[in-house]
Amino acid sequence: MLVIRDLTKKYGSFVAVNHINMHVRKGEIFGFVGPNGAGKTTTMRICCGLLKATAGKVYIDGTDAFRARQAVKSKIGYVPDFFGVYDNLKVIEYMQFFGSMYGMSPQQVAELSQGLLKLVNLAGWEEALVDRLSRGMKQRLCMARALIHNPQLLILDEPNSGLDPRARFEMKEIIKNLSSMGKTIVISSHILPELAEMCTSIGIMERGRMIVSGKVDDIMKQSQFTQPIRIKMTAGSSEVKEQAVRLIRENPLSEKVTFTEEEIFVIFRGGDNEAAYLLRQLVQNDLPVAGFYREKGDLESLFMKIITPSGRPRQ
Ligand SMILES: Nc1ncnc2c1ncn2[C@@H]1O[C@H](COP(=O)(O)OP(=O)(O)O)[C@@H](O)[C@H]1O
Ligand SMILES: [Mg+2]
């Protein structure tokens, strides 16, 4: 649905986006994560045709986004990170304004708005003044208007920033709902845990570069390799434990072996099959293994490992 190839954006001599590649398949919820200043907004704005790329390509549903700008715009709904000020505009007038930009008649917009406002939990707010809405409601209104032309791809730039937990929860439910309706969603955040749970894929960006990108499950598997295996032995002589440690160290996939009174920790560069082999070796050597398990990696610790300290996200 969205393919980014070797995309670069310079502001003068400053490289904000540095040869990034990204692939978002139809129906995915793609989490675009990175600390402030990573280049997320710049990338999103380029995809929407609001900013010119310095080099590289963007394809939306197979169409070259830089060549067929209009065709591409009809496929994208964009919710920017900054909500403008709309003095004295009612919710329904706001919808009318954006609907008219897509050549819709007031009746058409009125009919569509009913469903869309309901979808974003704003049914009954048609006559309210936009400026009086809470931040969360404004964000949701912005989503409703981004959906007015029924786009296949939704690009949401930090839709959760500045929202309270209740409003975040609502936003998450709406996004899941839109996903189940078949929309492809790209959503950015500088806070990973916010996205980890609902995304099917993520891309982690830092200082203009895409550091990791892919399916959450695959990235988790990779990160698992850096998680230690913990081995518990039944209480016994230290000789037995030393024998076990020696055996583990002999395995070429064991990177670092440490132990305490109760447990042995192994940084192990193998997957499940290799771990099973290690366990079998211990047991076959009559070593009294009482527990053997690998700690689960989580995306957040992976994120913290990947990004450099100076690029840590601000909370
Ligand atoms: N119009 C601009 N002119 C110069 N530098 C810019 C401009 N817009 C963004 N930048 C810089 O580009 C980098 C990436 O910004 P941005 O895409 O907004 O990152 P993010 O959305 O990940 O926080 C930042 O260092 C920012 O200061
Ligand atoms: Mg941004």
Structural tokens at position 39: 């280049």
For residues 70-86, give the mean pLDDT.
85
Same domain as 38, residue 12: yes
- For ligand 1, whether the C-beta of 75 sits within 6 Å is no
Protein residue closest via CA to atom 7 of ligand 1: 11
The Å distance, Cα 235 to ligand 2 centre, comes to 54
Which residues surround the ion ligand 2 when the cut-off is CB under 5 Å? 40-41
- For ligand 1, whether the C-beta of 210 sits within 6 Å is no
Instruction: Measure the CA–CA gap between 246 and 258, rounded to whole angstroms.
Output: 11
Protein residue closest via CA to atom 14 of ligand 1: 39
CATH of the domain at 247: 3.30.70.980
Same domain as 69, residue 49: yes
In angstroms, the Cα distances linking 257 to 157, 248, 278, 285 are 43, 8, 13, 18
The Å distance, Cα 154 to ligand 1 centre, comes to 21
The Å distance, Cα 10 to ligand 1 centre, comes to 10
The predicted-structure confidence for 90-129, as pLDDT tens digits, reads as follows: 999 999 999 998 889 999 999 999 999 999 999 999 999 9
**Owning domain of residue 263:** 228-295
Residue 307 maps to a domain: no
pLDDT band at 306 (very low <50, low <70, confident <90, very high): low
The predicted-structure confidence for 23-73, as pLDDT tens digits, reads as follows: 999 999 999 998 899 999 999 999 999 999 999 999 999 999 999 888 888
Q: Name the residue type at position 52.
A: K
pLDDT band at 312 (very low <50, low <70, confident <90, very high): very low
pTM above threshold 0.85: no
Residue 304 maps to a domain: no
Q: Is residue 95 a contact partner of residue 113, using CB atoms and an 8 Å limit?
A: yes
- For ligand 1, whether the C-beta of 179 sits within 6 Å is no
The predicted-structure confidence for 209-219, as pLDDT tens digits, reads as follows: 998 888 887 77
Same domain as 22, residue 144: yes
Same domain as 148, residue 47: yes
Residue 309 maps to a domain: no
Quote the pLDDT of residue 223: 64
Protein residue closest via CA to atom 8 of ligand 1: 42
Tally of domains in the chain: 2
Same domain as 124, residue 267: no
For residues 256-285, give the mean pLDDT.
90
In angstroms, the Cα distances linking 8 to 5, 15, 25, 44, 205 are 9, 7, 21, 12, 13
- Which of 8, 33, 41 best tests ligand 1's pocket when mutated (most atoms within 8 Å of CB)? 41
- Residue 310 has a CB neighbour count (10 Å cut-off) of 8
